[in-house]
Structure formats: C-alpha cells, structure tokens
Amino acid sequence: MKRARLTLGPLLFHWSAAKRRDFYLRIADEAPVDTVYVGEVVCAKREPMVASVQQEIIARLRAADKEVVLSTLALVTTLREVERIRELVNGDLLLEANDVACIQLLEGKAHVVGPYINAFNEGARDVLVRKGAIRIVLPIEMNKTGLQVVAGTAGDTELEYQVFGRQALSVAMRCYHARAHRLTKDHCQIICGIDPDGLAADTIDGIALFTINGTQTLTHGNAVLLSELAMLREFGVTHFRLSPQDLDMVAVATHYRAVLDGEQAADEVTAALRTLTGTTPWINGFLHGQPGRQWV
Amino acid sequence: MDRTAPLPLALLRGTATVLPRAVISAITAALLRGLLKTHPRLLENLTRLEPAIVHVIASDLPYRFAITVGRAPITLTVVDRIATGADAQVSASVATLVDLLEGRIDSDTLFFRRDLRIAGNTAVVVGLRNVLDREELSIANELEALCGPLGGTARRLARALEVIADSAGARLAAMHRTLHPPGTEAQDLTADVRRCHEEIAALTARLGTLESRRKRQADKIA
Amino acid sequence: MSIRYLELVCPAGTPSALRTAVEAGADTVYCGFRDCTNARNYPGLNFDFDELCAGVTYAHARDCKVLVAINTFPRAGDESPWHRAVDHAAAAGVDAVILADLGVLDYATRCHPNLRRHLSVQASAANAPSIQFYRDHFDVRRVVLPRVLSVEAVAELIAETGIETEVFAFGSVGPMSEGRCYLSSYLTGLSPTSEGACAPASHVAYEEIDGRVLSRLGGVTLNCFARGEPAAYPTPCKGRYVTHGQASYLFEEPVGLNAIEILPQLKGAGVTALKIEGRQRSRAYVAEVVTTFRRALDALERCDEGTPTGQLHGNTEGGKETCGAYQKGWR
C-alpha cells in the first residue's frame, strides 16, 4: 500500500494576515503534512485582506517541500468571482475546484475536485476524471459504504476525505455572520474576522449545534476520524484531510501522522487529541451513516 | 354540479351529538367501504403506508375517528374522545377536515396558520394526507350514495333528529354554507372571519400606538 | 419547445394534482417517481410508471408538457434506480428530464441522446461557466437557476450564456446553495441529496405545551411557536437559533417566495419559464397558485396595467411573502 498522504485543507475561517502568516510558517516548518491547501473558499470579500501574505506563505510551504494546492470559491455568482478564478487557472499552482465553474475554466487541465462538488458515486467520479480531476475530495456527507465503492474502484485517481475538524454543512449567498450582527452581506464590515473559530449557534433549548463562518455553516463538533483511518486506507482513500481549527494543528497533524504510519494506535493518541480540542465535542456520524452530529 | 347534500352531513355533524355512537360507527364504516369501492387505488395506497393507527380529532365532535393504515383491512372506527393508542393524531374542526379530505384546502397552509395540529408519527400523517389527496373524494356523494337504498329511512331518521335537536336546522344551514359553498358564499364567510381578525389586529395595533403616545406625553409632562 | 410567452411550470405531486394543474392553466407540469430518485421523496407522493404514462397522455392531449425530476444524487454502488428512472421517463414520452448528478447526466446523454435534458436547481449552477459546462458536456437545454440570484444577475447569466432559464416564482426561500446542503442529514442521518427528503417526516415531531408548539427534527429542537404564531416548515434552515444570547431566524424567516409582483422584470431579464414549487403540497394549493399565476401572466401578455396579483399569502410559509434574492438587500 502506498504511503498515506496527510493534507491540511484550506483555512475556512477568516484570520488576519498576521495570524495566517504565523500559522502557515509554523505548518511549513513543523507539521508532518504532505499537502497544504491555501486560498479562499468561503467569501470573495476576504481575499484582498490577506493577499499581502499569500505569496510568502506559498513560497515557504513550497520551500518546505509541501505540495501546495490553491482552493477556490465554493459558490461563484458574480462576474468578478468568475474572473478571479480565470486568473488562478492561468497561474502555475494546482487548483482545487469547489464550483463547477472552475472545472469549466480549467478546460481539462489537471486539478483537484474539492468537497463542495457533488461526487457521490462512480458515475459522477468518472465524469470528473474525464474532465481532468487527478484527485477528488469526497463530500463529508458520504458514508463508509459509498466511500468503499467510490474509492475501491477509482484506479489511479487519488481520493481524499476529511478526517479532522468541523465539517462544512452548507454554503449560502447570505452571510449569517452579518445577520447575527444585524448587518447585511453587502455592508458586512468583514465581521466574521472577529471569530477565529466561528460563531456558535445553539438551539433555543441550549444545545450547541452549528458554527457560523460567514456564509458557511459548519458543525459545532469536531469531526475526529482516528480509529477509522485504517478502514479508510483499506477502502482506497489516499489522502487524509485535516481542516484547520484555531488550535495546535501541528500537534494534531503529528498525532494523525503517527496513527497513519502505524507508529501509534488510535486509542494511544486519543487523550492527547482531546486535550487539544478542549470542550468541543467529537463527531463522526456521517461516515457511519448516522446523523452527522453524533459520535458513534 | 350538485353539491347540495346537507342531509347525510347532518348525520355527521349537526345532529351527531345526539346520535348513538353505534349509528355513527356504522355510517363511517359504510362510508369507508364506499370510498374504497369507488376509488380502487385508495385501498392499495393506504395499505402501502407504514402500519399505524391515526386518530382524527374533530375539535367540534364528542368523539374521535381511528383509521388503521399500512395493513389490510383498512378500518375507520369511532372511538372515545379520550381514547389512546394512536401512533399519530390530527386535529382540526369538522369543516376543515372535510375540506381537506375533499381537496378544497391545502394542509400545509392550514399548518402554517396553525389551524391543523399534528402529533405523534408525522410520516404517517403526511403519507395519509398524500394518499387521500391523490383521489378526488367527495364525502357528500359517498353519503348520498350510502343513503340511496336506505334513503327514506335515513331521511326520516335525520328529520326526527332535527326535531329532537332544537337548533339542528340552523346548524345544518350554517354547515351547509361552510361545506358546500355555492360559488362565493362560503368564501365570504372565510373572508368575513379574516376581515374580523384583521380588524382586531389593526385595532390592537392602534391601541398600542395610542397607549405609547399617551405614555410618551405623560413622560414629557413629568 | 413552443412557448406562448413566459412558460408556467407547475408542480404535480400526484396524478390528481397533475390534472388540477393542467386545468388551472399550466403550460408545463413536473413530477417525479415514487422513490429516492427525486427531491420530494415523501410517503404517498409521486408517480409510478403507469401513472406517469397516463399523466403524459392527459397533459399532451391538452397541449401541456410534462417534465420529470430525477434530481437527487445516486448513492455509490446503487445507481440503477436513477438509470431506470431516466429509462422510464423516456419510455413514458415525457418532454424533458430534470437532472442534477454528473453521472446521471452522463447516462442520459449516452443512452437517451434525444431526451431533452434540463439542469435541476440541485446542481447549483449559479454562474456562466457552470452553465456552459453542463451545456457543452451534456447538451443541457435549460437551467433551473438557484434562487440566490438577483434579477440583474439572472439577466446577466442569460445574456452571457444564451441558454433557456427557469426561475422560481412561488414557493420557498432557500437560503443555502441547493443540492449541497447537509444540515438535514446532520440532524437525521438521511441525506436530502440522495434520499430525496429534506427534513423527512419520519424524523419530525411536534409537541404541544400550553398552546406553544415545539418542532423537532431528529430530536433537535428547531423552533417554538407561541399560540397563534404562524408556523414554518420543520427544516433546519427555518429554525430559530441562539447567537450572542439571542434567538433569531438566523438563516431565514418563515416566509414564502412570491415573485408575482416582478413578473415584468423577470420577463425583461429574458427568463423562459417560471417555476411554481410545491409537489409536496395538496392539489388545492396547486389550483389556487396556478390559477393566480395564469391570470397574471395572461394580463402581462395583454400588457394590462395593474396585473392581478391575487391573494396568495395564505399559502406561503409563515403567511408572509418576499421576492427573496431577486430584490437587492436580501443578502
């Protein structure tokens, strides 16, 4: 079996340029990940705010021998957003397409299909591969039965699945972060920047349920698929994604790397990982065909 | 279109309070048999639902109807107002329920307005609603057909009951208007009620404004 | 397709709703099969093959077209129900299929090249390159646009792609990008994208306490309606949530979409067809909404001033209506 690749997914939250720079420079220097996805997935308005550090981050990651993939927007609606993707397509970085628009603009050029494009079955996977996908990040809603089928018959196509971090449940035109602050998306003051780990949205009877991240809605709990890693590898999953949270991601990556390499058993790193994730509950329901918010 | 069949419906509602339950039971059972006969796919579709007992509670009747679905035979019986053992319950007024059954009103609309209440197994209720809405049912026609062979007896019975129940005639007329609108009559009734509601809402709002204005003035003086 | 003017595309959850829609003046009806291949997979709803054939005969005899929505995403290893649905739709002689999944689009293109293909809103194609992708690779003739676009954006897309578009005129306001929203399966474990039911009734529960009604999905409390307060669908995006200590309709209020006031603008934008949502609604709803839109469209065509807009707010969620994303400021 080929060595399992550990990846760091795109940062979904809106961190300041300085915080981003510190984060990625440390990832470059210390995190045992093979691939790092950078680029804005959630909201085009955030991008200019952090553009100043983007080139340095990419250069440092490359210098550290990481594969760098540039993620693109999950919901593209404006001409400006389309033009931005057109620019990226003409650049030299491998892209992660998160909207079909990106695949169209790539015109068959090799790319990664991100988890926001529905690749739930063999038929869809094969279409995507024919259009140039070399790696497909499967949707978080996919359960193990589906994963086994799609990964098991994928041939040379690499398959990635998120194994750590809050899961993205939806993208929208509306900015809920703005709404929670009684602002509109057009005059949002980039208010999402004040919550580096998102904004908690609870039920009216006090159950923590969602994490709001601008136009995106995430799970409240942290997805932790640690004891499932062996099974996923067995299925044929080649890349294992850690989604950045506001915690020590280098330590998270180190634990996952150790388990993937068989140096430690999943239950040996559980306690240490719990310390890192604090009071945020762990979830793994989607993979097991249960409600996503559950821990099976 | 002949929709003037108040007599059988009188049996259902207007005089139902004084009819023995056994009689109501017999009528509803016969009604179901008739519906299943005139709508052959209804039986199949009701049988295909998840097995369950649904209580239909007409808020203005002194008892409930219990429908068993999801297995043969499909039954419709009359049970106590306080009966238990249902997997799901639907409640609304008789007029609303008949409108629903006959496809004159949308259940989601009733739900948004809170005129229809659902408890228990929601899937069964949704399934039952969809299965009934597939058919073009008419209770009036069924009851009329039902009264066919026994027409005379039923009519005499109904008339006797009308005499017993003082206000039955008035109730009958009101019900007839509600259930069988000739053109716009019943619409007007609904519109009237809506207008009243709107008027009350407007007056309440006006009162609120006046009160807050008075308070502001009082504050200013103070 | 010959189009009188703005084509009125109407929901048919059951054969009787199909007849109702045709009689009320639908130019086109859309329906789905009785399984997980369509996004309204609710108990007791939808058509089997024979019912669809009868529906097509009935509609075609009255100069009305029939579309079949096969707009969910097949589960891996189990694509055959979707392929069979496409085969059946073709055999029934429908005018087009409404598809969302790349694999199903591919299957239909290969196996039924002459069966007209529309792109479902579930495919979430909200920009010109996406639309071009589906047009170039699957010869998609019409796109149902996501209801997250303003009238201006709709006009731009049509101008740029030249494709037939269908837009939502009446129904729900869906704030999330459709076809890739996992809120409901996060609470229930059942996927709207592959099982075809958002907030499946099997996981919905209502509890009445002192005149207040609590609605729950998968055991999670979504909302609490005070006595007399209008209710919303038990979908997660219409729930009340607490942020910063305050409960609010964080995603969307219980309000329905009604674009009847902006029909001239939609026509001006170059829209081909108007979609009335509601295969899950009773035929009484179909009759009322379709009749009202038929009148409005006829008046629009005659250029009558004061287009009759009717009183449809009783039919909308929460008894309130909005033009949704079509108008500026909704975001």
Q: What digits encode the pLDDT tens for the residues B152-203?
A: 555 555 555 444 443 434 444 454 444 444 433 334 445 544 555 565 566 5
Q: Residue C313 pLDDT > 80, yes or no?
A: no
pLDDT of residue B112: 85
Our CA-based measurement puts residue C159 at a distance from the nearest CA of chain B, in whole angstroms, of: 37
For chain A, residues with pLDDT lower than 70 are: none
Q: Who among C200, C284, C318 is closest to B104 (CB)? A: C284
Contact, B89 vs B73, CB < 8 A? no
C282–B108 CB contact, under 8 Å: yes
Tokens of B59: 């808020």
Percent of residues, chain C, with pLDDT higher than 90: 79
* Fold category of A5-288 in CATH: TIM Barrel (3.20.20)
**Boundary of a domain, candidates B95, B123, B146:** B146
C151 and C206 in a single domain? The answer is no
Residue range(s) defining the domain that contains residue B193: 184-222
- For residue A150, the chain C residues in CB contact (below 8 A) are 76
| Count of structural domains, chain B | 2
pLDDT of residue A20: 97
Going from the C-alpha of A280 to that of each of A221, A224, A245, A275, C197, the distances in angstroms are 6, 11, 11, 10, 29
Element (DSSP H or E) covering residue B54? strand B52-58
Our CA-based measurement puts residue C289 at a distance from the nearest CA of chain B, in whole angstroms, of: 11
pLDDT of residue C305: 63
**Could you report the per-residue pLDDT of C261-295, keeping only the tens digit for each?**
999 999 999 999 999 999 999 999 999 999 999 99
C16–B135 CB contact, under 8 Å: yes
B108–C202 CB contact, under 8 Å: no
Q: What is the CATH number of the domain that holds C59?
A: 3.20.20.70
Instruction: Let me know if residue B58 belongs to a domain.
Output: yes
CB neighbours of residue A167 within 10 Å: 25
Mean pLDDT across chain B: 74
C91 and C213 in a single domain? The answer is no
Instruction: Let me know if residue C77 belongs to a domain.
Output: yes
B32 and B135 in a single domain? The answer is yes
Cα–Cα distance, A161 to A233 (Å, whole number): 10
pLDDT of residue C160: 95
Instruction: Let me know if residue C293 belongs to a domain.
Output: yes
- For residue C205, the chain B residues in CB contact (below 8 A) are 120, 122
Rounded to two decimals, what is the model's pTM? 0.88
Chosen for mutation from A87, A104, A290 (greatest number of chain C CBs closer than 10 Å) is A104
- For residue C317, the chain B residues in CB contact (below 8 A) are 112
Contact, A24 vs A50, CB < 8 A? no
The terminus-to-terminus CA distance of chain B in angstroms comes to 69
Q: Who among B49, B113, B120 is closest to C44 (CB)? A: B49
Instruction: Let me know if residue C331 belongs to a domain.
Output: no
**Boundary of a domain, candidates C248, C270, C291:** C248
B109–C285 CB contact, under 8 Å: yes
pLDDT band for position C223 (cuts 50, 70, 90): very high
Contact, C318 vs C232, CB < 8 A? yes
> In one letter, which amino acid is C329?
G
Helix (H, G, I), strand (E, B) or coil at C321: strand
B96 and B30 in a single domain? The answer is yes
Instruction: Let me know if residue C224 belongs to a domain.
Output: yes
Percent of residues, chain B, with pLDDT higher than 70: 58
C13 and C119 in a single domain? The answer is yes
Instruction: Let me know if residue B168 belongs to a domain.
Output: no
B114 and B218 in a single domain? The answer is no
Our CA-based measurement puts residue A70 at a distance from the nearest CA of chain C, in whole angstroms, of: 19
Q: Who among A99, A100, A293 is closest to C186 (CB)? A: A293
pLDDT of residue C5: 82
Q: State the Cα angle at B130 between B129 and B131, rounded to 5°.
A: 95
Is B49 within 8 Å of chain C by CB? yes
Instruction: Let me know if residue B173 belongs to a domain.
Output: no
B122–C15 CB contact, under 8 Å: no
Q: Who among C204, C233, C283 is closest to B103 (CB)? A: C283
- For residue B118, the chain C residues in CB contact (below 8 A) are 206
pLDDT of residue A184: 84
Instruction: Let me know if residue C1 belongs to a domain.
Output: no
Mean pLDDT across chain C: 92
Contact, C254 vs C215, CB < 8 A? no
B128 and B201 in a single domain? The answer is no
Q: How far is CA A116 from the centre of its chain?
A: 10
SS (H, E, C) C73-107: CCCCCCCHHHHHHHHHHHHHCCCEEEECCHHHHHH
| Count of structural domains, chain C | 2
Q: State the Cα angle at A34 between A29 and A39, rounded to 5°.
A: 80
C44 and C64 in a single domain? The answer is yes
Count, residues in chain A: 296
pLDDT of residue C66: 98
Instruction: Let me know if residue C190 belongs to a domain.
Output: yes
pLDDT of residue C312: 78
**For C227, what's the count of Cα atoms within 13 Å in the CB-facing half-sphere?**
3
Q: Domain locations in chain A? A: 5-288
Element (DSSP H or E) covering residue C57? helix C49-61
CB neighbours of residue B198 within 10 Å: 10
C208–B127 CB contact, under 8 Å: no
B188 and B135 in a single domain? The answer is no
Instruction: Let me know if residue C178 belongs to a domain.
Output: no
C260 and C233 in a single domain? The answer is no
Tokens 């056994």, residue?
B22
Instruction: Let me know if residue C194 belongs to a domain.
Output: yes
Q: Who among C126, C133, C183 is closest to A217 (CB)? A: C183
Name every residue whose Cβ is closer than 8 Å to that of residue C127 and which is 6 or more positions away in sequence. Answer: A76, A77, A78, A81, A82, A99, A101, C157
Is B220 within 8 Å of chain C by CB? no
C201–B109 CB contact, under 8 Å: no
For chain B, residues with pLDDT lower than 70 are: 1-19, 148-215, 218-222
Chain C positions with Cβ closer than 8 Å to B:
13-17, 42-45, 200-202, 204-208, 213, 225, 228-233, 254, 280-285, 288, 314-319
Residue range(s) defining the domain that contains residue C223: 183-248
Higher pLDDT, C100 or C315: C100
Our CA-based measurement puts residue B105 at a distance from the nearest CA of chain C, in whole angstroms, of: 5
Chosen for mutation from C188, C224, C331 (greatest number of chain A CBs closer than 10 Å) is C331
**Could you report the per-residue pLDDT of C12-71, keeping only the tens digit for each?**
999 999 999 999 999 999 999 999 999 999 999 999 999 999 999 999 999 999 999 999
**Boundary of a domain, candidates C233, C248, C263:** C248
DSSP A238: -
**Could you report the per-residue pLDDT of C242-256, keeping only the tens digit for each?**
999 999 999 998 888
Residue C126 bridge partners (DSSP):
none
Q: State the Cα angle at A134 between A133 and A139, rounded to 5°.
A: 65
Angle between helices C128-138 and C151-161 (to 10 degrees): 40
**Boundary of a domain, candidates B146, B163, B193:** B146
C212 and C291 in a single domain? The answer is no
pLDDT of residue B151: 55
Q: Who among C130, C177, C331 is closest to A104 (CB)? A: C130
C157 and C291 in a single domain? The answer is yes
Q: Give the sheet arrangement for strand B117-120, strand by strand.
A: B75-80, B63-69, B52-58, B88-92, B117-120
Verify cis geometry, omega within 30 degrees of 0, for the bond prior to B73: yes
B15 and B88 in a single domain? The answer is yes
Chains B and A touch each other (3 or more Cβ pairs < 8 A): no
Strands (E), chain A: 5-8, 35-38, 67-71, 94-97, 111-113, 133-137, 158-165, 168-171, 199-203, 208-213, 216-219, 222-224, 239-242, 282-283
B51 and B118 in a single domain? The answer is yes
Mean pLDDT lowest among A224-238, C72-86, C314-328: C314-328
Q: What is the CATH number of the domain that holds B25?
A: 3.30.1050.10
The terminus-to-terminus CA distance of chain A in angstroms comes to 28
pLDDT of residue B152: 54
